[in-house]
A and B are shown apart, each in its own frame.
Chain A
Amino acid sequence: MKKEDIRTIVATDCGSTTTKAILIEQQGEEFRLIARGEAPTTVEAPVEDVTKGVFNAINELEEIVGRKFTDGDTLLKPKKGSDGFDIYISTSSAGGGLQMMVAGVVKAMSAESAARAALGAGAIVMDTIASNDGRLPHQKIERIRKLRPDMILFSGGIDGGTTKHVVEIAQILAAADPKPRFGITFQLPVIYAGNKDARELVKELISKKVALTVTDNLRPVLERENLLPARHLIHDQFLEHVMQQAPGYKQLMAMTDYEIEPTPGAVGTIMQRIAREKKIQILGVDIGGATTDVFSVFQGIYNRTVSANFGMSYSISNTVSEAGLDNVMRWIPFDMNEKDLMNRVKNKMIRPTSIPQLMEELIFEQAVAREALRLSLIQHKEMAVSLKGVQKERTMSDIFSQSSDSSLVNMTTLNMIIGSGGVLSHSPRRHQAAIMMIDAFLPEGVTQLTVDSIFMMPQLGVLTNFHPEAAAQVFEKDCLIYLGTCVAPIGAEKDGKKCLEFKISMPDGKVIQDELTFGDIRVYPLGVGQVAKLYAKPAKNLDLGAGPGISIEDTLYGGVVGIIFDTRGRRPFKLPENKSERVAKMQRWLSSMNAYPNY
C-alpha cells in the first residue's frame, strides 16, 4: 500500500510478559492514537504461539472501539467500511531475557572473563563451565542440555598458547549437541572468543552442530581483557537470532507489513530522535518483565544496554536478590513482613503476568522497580565507557576487582529522563513514575522528566521507519507525557538546615520566591506546556551544576506533576538507617509528591 493511502494502522509490541496493541488513525490532517489493547504474551502451553497473544490484544481493540479488525485467525486488511485496517506492524521481545552459558578453560581466568563479557552484554549467566570446575565431562554435557541456554560464549587460552584445553571444551560442546529452547529448525548460537590458533580446530568440531561465530580473544594475553568484540556480538546475536525463535515468530513475520523490529532497537530509534531534534542529552529506560533496557545520548554518542537480569516479572526475584531485600525495603513507607515479601516476590516470578490489586502490593512492586532501574543504570554507566572503544586493561592483581572508568553518562549535564515500560507507563498516578525515576536515577541539577504515556514507544519506533509523519504526530500528541522538572542540588548538609534560595518567574508573571531546607521534597505546580524561569542559589556546600554555592539560572518545563525540588542530597544520597525515622521520612516525601492516596 502506498504511504499516502494509509489511514488506519494497528501496531503491536510482543513483550516477554504482555502483548500490547495500539490503533492509530488519521483524523483530519493528523494521525492520533485511538485505542490500546493488551493481553498476555502466549509463549506457554497450551497456546505456544506468539500470534495468539497478538490476536487477543487486537481483539481488545475491537471491543474498545466496537469495530472488527480480525476474522477468526486472519487480520482484516485493508480497511473496508468501518472494519479492518490498512497496515500491521510489530516489535518483539517475546523471547524474554538473554540467558547464556559461558565456558572457559580456567575457572578463575578465561571462564571468568567470559562471564564478565556476557554480564556486560546484559545476559543472565546460567552456568559457567570450565575444565577445572570439578564436574565430570558428562555432568557438564548434561548441564548444557538441560539448561537450554539461548547462547553459549566460550573462551580459553591466550593467543599463541596451547590449544588443547580449548579443544577439550569444544569437544564437550560437540558432545552436548545443544539445542535452542525454541524450535528444532534453529541452531544454537555459539560464540568462540578464545585462542586464535584454535579457531580452525573449534570450527571443525562444532560448526556443523551449532551456529558458530568467531570473534577476538577475550584474553589475548594473560594481563589484558578485551571484552568489547564479544559483547557486541552477543548483542547482535540476541537481537537477530535468539529473539526470532519465540514460538510463532515466523507466523508473526508473515502477518506484518514491515519487518519486525526488536523492541529495544525500536525504542532506541525514538530516543535518538528526541535527542537529535531537541539537541539535548537524554537518558531513557524501558523496564520490562524480563529485562531493563537503558538508552543514553551524551555528547552525541548513543549507547544502549540490555540488563537481562533486572526485570519486574520473570526476573523480579533476581532483581530483589541482586539489590538485597533491605535496599528494596528502604523505599517502602510502612512495615512489611519479610517472609511474606519473599513469598510475594517468588509468586510474581512463577506467575509473571499477574498485576498488583492491593495498594501495598503496588507500592512494593514500585520499590522493586526503583532497584531494577538503579542497578540497570549502574550497568549502563559501565558499558557506556566500553562502547567508546576504550579497551579495558586488567592486570593480574585486579582480576577480582570491578573498578569502573569515568562514564559518558553524566547526571549533572543530563537534560531529560524518559521512562517507559509497564511499571512506569502504567503507574496509576504519574507522580509515582516521577518519584520512581528520581529515586532510582538521582538526577543532579535541573532535569526534565517524561514518561511514555501507555508504553507505545516500541510501536512508534518501527512506525518511524516507514511513516515518520504519523509517528511524529502521535508521539507529540499522545505518547510523551511531560511530568515536570526536577531540581536537585549535589552535596550534603545537615537535615533541616537552609540549603537553597530560589525564585521562579511563572508564565503568568507571578514570582514565587522561597527557600528550602535540606532533606526535603517540595512540589510547585507548573502545567503541561508551561515554561518558567528559575534563579537558584545553593548553600556553599551544595552544587546545582555550576559549582558549590554558585547561583544558576535555568528553564523549568511544566508537566502533570510540576516542579520537584529534591533537597535530599546527592553523592551521597542517604536514607536514615533507623527504620522508624526512614519510614517517617518516606511518608513525608511521598505525601509531598502526592504519590499514593494515604501518603
Chain B
Amino acid sequence: MGQAYVPGLKVSERQIVHKERVLPLKGEIKVKIGDKVKASDVVAATNLPGNVELINVVNKLAITPAELGSCMLAREGDIISKGQMLAQSKGFFGYFKSSCQSPVSGTVENISSITGQVVLREPPIPVEVHAYVDGIVEEIHKDVGVTIKLQAAFVQGVFGIGGEVVGEISMISRGLEDEIVAREILPEHAGKIIVGGSFIVADALKKAVDTGVKGIIVGGIDAKDLRDFLGYDIGVAITGSEEMGLTMILTEGFGKINMAKKTYDLLSKHNGKQASINGATQIRAGVIRPEIIIPLKNIEEDKIKEAEIRKDVGLTPGKLVRIIREPDFGAVVKVKSLPVTLMKLESETMVRVVEVEHPDGSVRVVPRANIEIIES
C-alpha cells in the first residue's frame, strides 16, 4: 500500500559522496589514490586543440579561389601572429592591392583552393579540472579523471542554474520565510554562497551578481524574474551551462515558498562553512538535480562508512512530506493515513489520496501524486 508517491529530494545531515572529476580530453592526472585534496586543487589537466578560425580570403581580396594560392603570403604549417599579413592581391598594375591580416595568432592549417577559405588554428589551450570538493582521491580513471570521496552534508535542490562553484555559506535571512532583498546583500558577501528563506526578488538577484556573490540558495523565485534574468525562457529543465555570474539553487520551486525547515536548519548549522554547489538540472528520465555538498571536517578516513542505502522508500503514516501543488504548495506536513478508495477532488478528478496533518493540527486530503517525501 502506498508505493505510489513522488520520489523526494535528499536532505542528509551526513553521507558519503563520490564525485567524479573528468577531463574534456585525455590528459594528465595530477593526484594519486589516497591523496587528500582541497576543492581548489587541480586534479587533472590537459591541453585542448586551439580554436579554429575560418577566413574567407577570396572574398576579402575579391579574387577567385583558383587565384588564392598565388596571393597567399603564408603557407600551410606556418606559425603566424595576430595582425600578420596572410594574403595580398596582385592589384591593378601593382596598385590598389587588397590584403588580409590574421585575426589571431596560431598556425595556418589549411588553404582551400575550392572554397577559398583559410583555416587558422590558435595555440593549444590548457584546461585544468579542479577537485570541486574537499576529500580523498578514491579512484583514478586513467588519463581521464578521478573520483573523490568525502563525508558531507548533502542537499538536493529542485531546480538550479549555473555550474559548479565553491564558497562559504552565509545565511542572510533570519528565517525560512524571509525573502532575500537587495539591501541585505553587502560587499562582504562577495565570493560567498548566500542562503535565503522563501524567495529572491529580481533586483536582489541583480545586486548579487554586481556584488560578486558566487551562489544563491533559496526556496523560490518567480519564473518571470528568472526569464528576465536569463534573457530567455527555459522550455525544458536542462540547465547548468548558464554563465550569469553566479549559480542559483531553488530548494522548493517557483513562486514564494518557504524553504523546508529541515533544509534551512541544516544550512544554518553550517553557516560560515565551505560548500560546493552545482545548479545543473536535467528533469527527464535519468534526472539530475542541483546539489549542495558541505564537506564535514575532522572525520578520520577509516571511520568513513558508506551510508546505508535506504530500501524503505514507501509512504507510511508519520512520514514527513512536502506538498508540491496548489493548494498549500510548499507546506511540509505529516502523513496521517493512506485511504485505499479513490476520492473526488475539487477538480472533479477521482484519485488516490493521502490524509496529511499540517503543523497547526488541521487534517486535509491531498492527491498522492502531489506530495514528495523528504528523504534523509
Contacts and interface: CB of A to CB of B under 8 A. Distances in A.
Interface stretch (A142-150, A225-233, A385-393): A142-150
Interface string B43-71: 00000111110100000000000000000
Given A44-B7, A357-B367, A350 B235 contact: no
Given A142-B24, A357-B326, A99 B347 contact: no
Interface string B338-372: 00100001111111100000000000001101101
Interface stretch (A111-119, A292-300, A338-346, A501-509): A338-346
A354 B369 contact: yes
Contacts of B85: none
A357 to B, nearest CB: 5
A141 interface: yes
A182 B349 contact: no
Contact of A356 (B51, B255, B287, B325): B325
Interface stretch (A78-86, A275-283, A309-317, A535-543): A309-317
Interface in A361-375: 361-362
Nearest to A345: B223
A351 B254 contact: no
Nearest to A132: B54
Given A16-B285, A352-B283, A358 B51 contact: no
Nearest to A322: B235
Given A96-B285, A146-B241, A147-B238, A344 B326 contact: yes
B286 A317 contact: no
Contact of B285 (A176, A182, A428): A182
Interface stretch (B107-115, B206-214, B266-274): B107-115
Contacts of B280: 146
Contacts of B125: 136, 138
B6 interface: yes
A60 interface: yes
A59 interface: yes
B285 A246 contact: yes
Interface in A1-46: 16, 38-46
Given A164-B110, A322-B235, A357-B366, A428 B348 contact: yes
Interface string B96-126: 0000000000000010101100010000010
B316 interface: no
Given A138-B48, A315-B236, A321-B235, A347 B255 contact: yes
Contacts of B5: 40
Interface in B257-311: 280-287, 309-310
Given A40-B369, A56-B4, A349 B283 contact: yes
A46 B375 contact: yes
Most chain B Cβ neighbours within 10 Å, of A143, A175, A354, A356:
A354
Contacts of B309: 46
A14 to B, nearest CB: 10
A110 interface: no
Contacts of A162: 112, 114-115
Interface in B120-179: 125, 127, 158-159
B292 to A, nearest CB: 16
Contacts of B22: 145
A266 B112 CA distance: 51
Interface in B215-249: 222-224, 226-227, 233-238, 240-241
A168 interface: yes
Interface in A83-125: 94-97, 99, 124
Contact of A359 (B50, B238, B348): B348
A47 B237 CA distance: 20
B241 A355 contact: no
Given A176-B24, A314-B236, A60 B4 contact: yes
B324 interface: yes
B237 A361 contact: no
A346 B221 CA distance: 11
Contacts of B281: 350
A528 B253 CA distance: 44
B313 interface: yes
B348 A318 contact: no
Contacts of A347: 253-255, 324-325, 329
Given A318-B236, A361-B326, A141 B25 contact: yes
A47 B25 CA distance: 32
A537 B327 CA distance: 49
Interface residues of B, number: 71
A436 interface: no
Given A46-B313, A99-B284, A342-B227, A429 B236 contact: no
Contacts of A340: 255
A136 B51 contact: yes
Nearest to B350: A428
Nearest to B255: A343
A251 to B, nearest CB: 15
Nearest to A289: B284
A354 B51 CA distance: 46
A158 to B, nearest CB: 11
A378 B199 CA distance: 39
A145 B284 contact: no
B266 to A, nearest CB: 19
Contacts of A57: 4
A354 B349 contact: no
B48 A314 contact: no
A219 interface: no
Nearest to A157: B115
A318 B236 CA distance: 6
B357 to A, nearest CB: 17
Interface string B320-331: 000011110100
Contact of B127 (A97, A138, A247): A138
A39 B285 contact: no
A359 B349 CA distance: 9
Contacts of B49: 137-138, 175
B7 A45 contact: yes
B286 A357 contact: no
A353 B373 CA distance: 14
B15 to A, nearest CB: 12
A352 B158 CA distance: 12
A63 interface: yes
8 contacts: A16-B284, A99-B236, A175-B49, A181-B284, A317-B237, A345-B223, A354-B6, A429-B348
Interface of B: 1, 3-7, 22, 24-25, 48-52, 54, 110, 112, 114-115, 119, 125, 127, 158-159, 222-224, 226-227, 233-238, 240-241, 253-255, 280-287, 309-310, 313, 324-327, 329, 340, 345-352, 366-367, 369-370, 372, 375
Given A39-B3, A41-B285, A339-B223, 12 more contacts: A40-B6, A46-B7, A63-B1, A138-B49, A143-B241, A246-B285, A314-B283, A315-B235, A317-B236, A347-B324, A356-B349, A357-B347
- Which 9 residue pairs of A and B lie closest in terms of their CB atoms, listed nearest first? A318-B235, A428-B348, A342-B223, A138-B48, A43-B285, A362-B347, A343-B254, A343-B255, A56-B3
